[in-house]
Chain A
Amino acid sequence: MEIIKISGNELAEYLHDESRLSGNAEYLVFAKSEADIQDAVEFCLRRDICLTIQGSRTGITGGSVPAGGLILNLERMNKILGIRRDEAGSYFLRCEPGLKLAELREILFSRQYDISDWTAAAKIIWQEFINSGKYIFPPDPTETSASLGGMASCNASGARSYKYGATRLWLSNLKTYNLSAIKQDKLVPKPDITLPSKGVKNAAGYYLSESSRDFDLYIGAEGTLAIITELEIKLLPKPAHCWGVIQFFAGETAAVAFCEELKQQSYTASALEYFDHNALNLLRKYRQMWDTLPEMASNWKNAVYYEYEGDETELIEEAVFKAGDLAEKAGSSESNCWFADAEAGIQQLKNFRHAVPEAINAELDVIRQKDDRISKISTDLAVPAGYLHKMLRLYRQAEQDGWQVIAFGHIGNDHLHTNILVSDYQKWLSAKKLVIEWAKAAIAAGGSVSGEHGIGKIKRDLLQLMYGEKGIACFRSIKQQFDPDWILNRGNIIEREPVPGD
């Protein structure tokens, strides 16, 4: 194992993630095997320094930003190690944690992979697999350069989690490198905290729901409990058809009413996403980010993206035309939309959706040139069904009070990413306080402070709000039992309590 000493500005890219939070570290290791991981951990224990696990650094809460010590980068552990088929005929791939989602998709698409190292049995199953049609791995975080290990560590979701759920549901097994012998079901005391209402997307803190799987606790633990060294992922036969529509509306009330109606339909959409008027205006400003699409009409204020998938065109067509009726009923028209039923068109619609956070980042970069203390203010608040309108009222009130509020994202799961863009540091400080007020409202409604991004190093105050002292103490006790020396991903989720006499 080669340990690289970090000096000066070299390797600066490994010191930050997409949150724009920057950290520091003394050493960097590109692990290629479990043996390297073990060596790196022992190196850290000997020197009493902490270890930060990195995948592709696409997170937006600083989870892979080092807090000193050593960076254990896993991007070179990116192989697929084997394949399995269960009795029901489902296929599972055994992957290393550094494999990127985009790389996995390419392999699933081309069905070409070098399997010369695999066992004879796995080779036979692979042949059957590539002859049995196309498959997908359903979780779809917007940033496809995310690594599988990172996706598991944050329990990533994305637009399609409306239908397919988060990454957890598509992981059938995990192999981890542990620093203690403790097991999930032997935790003392047994965790006892109040979780968000059922059905709320939740990526805040450790997973404490009832589970019979001994690896569930590691999913969403943001690398604080163990190092994921291997993942077994479940694949799904690719639906033969996918149709997508961006429907435009003249106001938020109509757009939200349309979404509520669409959620009642018997054929479930695979994605249901929202763009508020400020999101569309920002996209108008950053026209170059989506210039393969035509201009938006000036009376298109708000938009909803929805997608239907399946093997039978007739059913999809029926669902889409029904959605068209609902859009008309909500006051829009079947002419005020963009429709796509082939890969290229769907990709254009997705790029339009992806352009919203990209445009926000572009605005933020300009602001940060003036004052780099200002970081991104992007909420990840998820609330139970029926409570979104309350949140939207708060966002619109803030807008009336003069804030630039951009709300977009996973309306199907009552989970919007509401961003605030500010012009100076004083306003940034006030905006942070405003977000705390919003978080309190979401928690009071039975929601979560993080639907999918996780807590990382920048949302610990929100986690405290959500679970209180008792909850944080519970998390701290779990962390202590799995990682007695607190070397793993220090600063994520919870801070180490000062030890008396330390």
Chain B
Amino acid sequence: MNSIVCIKQVPDTTEIRIDPVTNTLIREGVESIINPFDLYAIEEAVRIKEKFGGKVTALSMGPPQVEKALRDAVALGVDEIILLSDRKFAGADSWATSHTLSEAIKKIGEYDLIFFGQQAIDGDTGQVGPGVSAFLELPQVCFVKEIVEISENSVTVKRLMEEGFDVIQAPLPTVLSVVKDLNTPRLPSLRGKRLAKNTQLTVWNADDLGLDEKEIGLNGSPTQVVKIFSPKLDKEVEKLEGLTSEEAAERIYHRLKELGK
């Protein structure tokens, strides 16, 4: 059972601050990590490998420093790592990214399951998994919270819904976008860290994938970002002072009733 896990390197959100003047992210000195949702995808793929055999390949697109995220994936149990890196890929939206990833997946060739995290915590679109399944013309299940069964030619999963879950069986190969209910990701071990250091990184550029400049990067991206801004927080504070707890509770009760009208 071979899996491909598509991962993204993102800034560590525990360190994210917004510049109050320019409204942009302060990226200086911020650590980069594997998108947290992708960790659940990696964990599940590694568990499947440990149970059924096969291999796990992690695939990512981005600048050369994404190598760190891919090596971190090896420390978590991934066997092979491929980085799609080319200046021509820069500025890709979710369409161009899906297209580029799907060409790389075709080039990898051997796979039964393709995993994605539910969404990336920086862009938050959640579109690349479904996009890849469309380009590859493969079935897809999003919001996967449990893998119930894997047979030689199908996978049965639970899909998280607002008020419960669906049980879905899909033929292999298939694309799965996973949510964090799926498992508890392991932390790397030192053994994994050593393996990560010594694993060969494969880098593919646009030519390796046989992609035309018009299809990739900014040129291949139909999305236009018109404006980015921090939403204005609209909150008013009313302070009640000099009251006993009973009086304060009484006042708050009436005030809430008023506001609720």
Contacts and interface: CB of A to CB of B under 8 A. Distances in A.
Given A320-B190, A335-B189, A338-B189, A344 B14 contact: yes
Nearest to A347: B14
B184 A293 contact: yes
A19 interface: no
A393 to B, nearest CB: 30
Interface stretch (B55-63, B191-199, B228-236): B191-199
A352 B115 CA distance: 29
Contacts of A134: 29
B138 interface: no
Contacts of A323: 190
Contact of B194 (A10, A334, A348): A334
Nearest to B75: A339
A339 B31 contact: no
Contacts, number: 65
B12 A344 contact: yes
B190 A337 contact: yes
Interface string A305-344: 0000000000001001101100100000111111110111
Contact of B187 (A133, A291, A293): A293
A321 B14 contact: no
Nearest to A345: B187
B64 interface: no
B153 interface: no
Contacts of A293: 184, 187
Nearest to A10: B245
Given A293-B184, A338-B187, A343 B75 contact: no
B191 A333 contact: yes
A286 to B, nearest CB: 16
A500 interface: no
B186 A294 contact: yes
B20 to A, nearest CB: 8
Contact of B191 (A109, A294, A320, A335): A335
Interface residues of B, number: 23
Contacts of A340: 187-188
A349 B187 CA distance: 10
Contact of B190 (A10, A292, A339): A339
B184 A343 contact: no
Interface in B225-261: 245
A307 B180 CA distance: 28
Interface in B16-52: 17, 20, 29, 31, 33, 36
A334 B189 contact: yes
Contacts of B193: 320-321, 339
Contacts of B31: 342-343
Interface string A48-66: 0000000000000000000
A382 interface: no
Given A10-B245, A134-B29, A321-B194, A342 B12 contact: yes
A119 B123 CA distance: 42
A338 to B, nearest CB: 4
Contacts of B14: 343-344, 347
A338 B75 CA distance: 11
B208 interface: no
A245 interface: yes
A320 B75 CA distance: 14
Contacts of B185: 294
B15 interface: yes
A110 interface: yes
A241 to B, nearest CB: 9
Interface in A208-256: 245
Given A10-B245, A110-B17, A339-B193, A344 B33 contact: yes
Interface in B46-101: 75
B187 A343 contact: no
A339 B187 contact: yes
Contacts of A336: 189
Contacts of B192: 339
A337 B187 CA distance: 8
Interface in B162-220: 184-194, 197
Nearest to B191: A334
A322 to B, nearest CB: 11
Given A339-B75, A342-B12, A344-B14, A334 B190 contact: yes
Given A10-B245, A334-B194, A343 B189 contact: no
Interface in A81-129: 109-110, 112
B17 to A, nearest CB: 6
A245 B190 contact: yes
A10 B29 CA distance: 46
Nearest to A348: B187
A337 B193 CA distance: 11
A294 B189 contact: no
Interface in A291-307: 291-295
A337 B185 CA distance: 14
Contacts of B191: 324, 333-335
A245 B38 CA distance: 22
Contacts of A10: 245
Contacts of A327: 190
B15 A343 contact: yes
24 contacts: A10-B245, A112-B20, A292-B184, A294-B185, A294-B187, A295-B184, A320-B190, A321-B190, A321-B194, A327-B190, A334-B191, A335-B191, A338-B187, A338-B188, A338-B189, A339-B75, A339-B187, A339-B189, A343-B12, A343-B14, A344-B14, A345-B187, A348-B187, A349-B187
Interface of B: 12, 14-15, 17, 20, 29, 31, 33, 36, 75, 184-194, 197, 245
List 7 A-B pairs, minimum CB-CB distance, nearest first. Answer: A338-B187, A334-B191, A334-B190, A324-B190, A339-B188, A335-B191, A294-B186
Given A294-B186, A337-B189, A339-B192, 13 more contacts: A110-B17, A293-B184, A293-B187, A294-B184, A294-B185, A321-B190, A334-B189, A334-B190, A340-B187, A343-B31, A345-B187, A347-B14, A349-B187
